[in-house]
Amino acid sequence: MSGDTKSLFREYPRFLWRCFQLSFVGDWKYYTWMFLLSVVALFGLNAYAKQFVQGLITTGLTDQVSWGLYIANFTYLVGVAAAAVMLVIPVYVYKNKDLHNLVIFGELLAVVAIIMCLLFIAVDLGRPDRFHHMLLRFNFPMSILTWDVIALNGYLLLNLHICGYLIYCAYNNRRPTRKFYIPFVFIAIVWAISIHTVTAFLYSGLGGRPFWNTAVIAPRFLASAFAAGPALIILTLQVIKVSTGYPVSEKAISTLKGIVTVALGVNMFLLISEIFTEFYTGTTHAASARYLFFGLHGYSALVPWIWTAIGLNSFALIVLLTPASKNRWVLNAACVAMIVGIWIEKGMGLIVPAFIPSPLGEIVEYVPTLNEILVCTGIWAFGLLIYTILVRVTIPVLYGELTVDTVYHTDPELKAKQKQATKESASVSLE
């Protein structure tokens, strides 16, 4: 091992310590945001502690509806994680310079989304103390669930390596060596598509749930992911631009808007195709779809949810197709509508109806409990907390304010001078 490499290894603990210290530095808005997220996360932890002691009786899950809000959030977040590829492909495949210095924020979002996915799976386990049984009975390659475990954890490791390597190179004022990250980038592109495809196969492969027995689920998953994920990234980049001054070009936002528009249009088309197939054929297998869209035998808890989702997605698509989307606030409103609409469609609108009616013809409606909602909001708050810290640490490194040779200034005047002095060599080169 060369002396240069040894020095990099020796510097790594100091780099982590400096990043840890930096995560506690910010203005009053940063502290307020972090405090609120911490409070919500602690409420969620307390709710999960109650569930851990009492079991899934604290949730609205039943023998008839065994998957609910937890798996709905898991399904949605797998799509958010996969959507990071919509930043990676334009940069590394099509050499899009506008997204060049922003791709790392999408990859960081993918890391956080996968962590949240794993947490939602963990809280959905009725007996988490028996989790090791699943590892001992690792039924590979027959089990689709085993494939999903490999896909999720593999994608997490890939993005951790890519992000960590690029940020650490920027910290050491070194140009990244292409062979250490470019192959992993292209593997991650294929892997991103696979994680959502495998998740879709988990559902469509269950023969006892006719609502999921359709080949269109995997394409719908990908289309909705490539709409909601970049929409979330658009909002994130605008927050970063306003709060930190990090350069985010309008062309980058416009590129993401184009991706979102096409993906949302495809998602709506696939939804219409699915609705036509379910209702035009008029088979008994359409009972779950009838329950979802119009109610069944007087039960209609999900009807307002799905029509709200369709309304929000239709509004977002109309806005994105008109010149009004050039206005930043209108674009943000469309992105928020799309994020919420797709969350309902892929979550409550996809998971719960498959269990109603049950294979025995029972209709037991699912309503999440307060404890269940607190656990979910706690995980979301924890994920946002991690993402805020990652972005908080990453931006000074990319700006050249926090490097192996510099002292990061917390004083506003010194910080402004430092930022001006290093602005030209600020961003890490990803080429």
The Cα 114–Cα 159 span in angstroms is 10
When mean pLDDT is compared across 129-133, 232-236, 266-270, 373-377, the lowest value belongs to 129-133
On whether the CB atoms of residues 111 and 163 are closer than 8 A, the answer is yes
Position 431 scores a pLDDT of 43
Single out the residue of 65, 95, 15, 23 nearest to residue 255, CA to CA: 95
Tokens, residue 126: 């009725």
Q: What is the mean pLDDT of residues 8-36?
A: 84
Structural domains of the chain, with CATH: 27-362+370-425 (1.20.1630.10)
Residue 195 to residue 299: CA distance in whole angstroms:
34
Could you read off the pLDDT of 129-171 as tens digits, one per residue? 777 766 666 666 677 777 888 888 888 898 888 888 888 888 8
> CB–CB of 75/117 below 8 Å?
no
Q: Are 231 and 338 in contact (CB under 8 A)?
A: yes
pTM of the model: 0.88
Q: How many CB atoms lie within 10 A of CB 79?
A: 27
Question: In the predicted model, what is the mean pLDDT of residues 374-402?
Answer: 90
Contacts of 295 (CB under 8 A, 6+ apart): 303
Position 123 scores a pLDDT of 92
Written in H, E and C, the secondary structure of 372-410 is HHHHHHHHHHHHHHHHHHHHHHHHHHHHCCCCCCCCCCC
- The dihedral formed by the CA atoms of 274, 296, 285 and 269, expressed in degrees to the nearest 10: 0
Instruction: Output the pLDDT for position 430.
Output: 41
Closest by Cα among 162, 149, 177 to 88: 162
The answer, yes or no, to whether the previous bond of 396 is cis (omega within 30 of 0) is no
Q: Which of 125-139, 335-349, 374-388 has the highest mean pLDDT?
A: 374-388
In this structure, is the dihedral angle defined by the CA atoms of residues 235, 184, 346 and 33, taken in order, positive or negative? negative
C-beta separation of 156 from 114 below 8 A? yes
- The dihedral built from the CA positions of residue 124, 127, 128 and 134, taken in this order, carries a sign that is negative
CA atoms of 53 and 117, how far apart (whole Å):
22
Q: Which residue in this structure is represented by tokens 């995980």?
A: 379
Q: Per-residue confidence at 378, pLDDT binned at 50, 70, 90?
A: very high
Query: Can you name the residues that pair with 299 across neighbouring β-strands?
Result: 296
**Of the listed ranges 106-115, 119-128, 264-273, 394-403, the one predicted with least confidence:** 394-403
Separation of alpha carbons 100 and 155, rounded Å: 21
CB 217 within 8 Å of CB 204: yes
Rounded to the nearest 10°, the torsion over CA 181, 2, 402, 98 is -30
3-state class of 274 per DSSP?
helix
**DSSP string of 98-126, one letter each residue:** TTTTTHHHHHHHHHHHHHHHHHHHHHH-S
Q: CA-to-CA distance for 266 and 260, rounded, in angstroms?
A: 10
Q: What share of the chain has pLDDT > 90, as a percent?
A: 28
Collapsing DSSP states into helix, strand and coil, what is residue 245? Answer: coil
Largest CA distance in the chain: 75
pLDDT above 70 covers a percentage of the chain that reads 88
Lowest-confidence range among 46-50, 244-248, 276-280, 319-323?
244-248
Q: In whole angstroms, give the CA distance from residue 71 to residue 8.
A: 41
Position 422 scores a pLDDT of 44
Lowest mean pLDDT among 124-138, 314-328, 399-413: 399-413
Helix, strand, or coil (residue 336): helix
When pLDDT is averaged across residues 190-218 and rounded to a whole number, the result is: 86
pLDDT of 366 strictly over 70: yes
Please state, as a whole number, how many other Cβ atoms lie within 10 Å of the Cβ of residue 185. 22
Q: Rounded to whole angstroms, what are the CA distances from 56 to 122, 345, 372?
A: 12, 24, 9
Average pLDDT, rounded, for the chain? 84
Output Rg (C-alpha) for the chain, integer angstroms: 23
Task: Name the band, by pLDDT with cuts 50, 70 and 90, for residue 5.
Answer: low
Burial of 279 (0-12, 13-18, 19+ CB in 10 A): middle
Q: What is the structure's pLDDT at 240?
A: 85
Q: Which residues pair with 296 in a beta bridge?
A: 299
Q: In Å, how far from its chain's centre is CA 30?
A: 22
The average pLDDT across 313-326 equals 92
pLDDT band at 414 (very low <50, low <70, confident <90, very high): very low
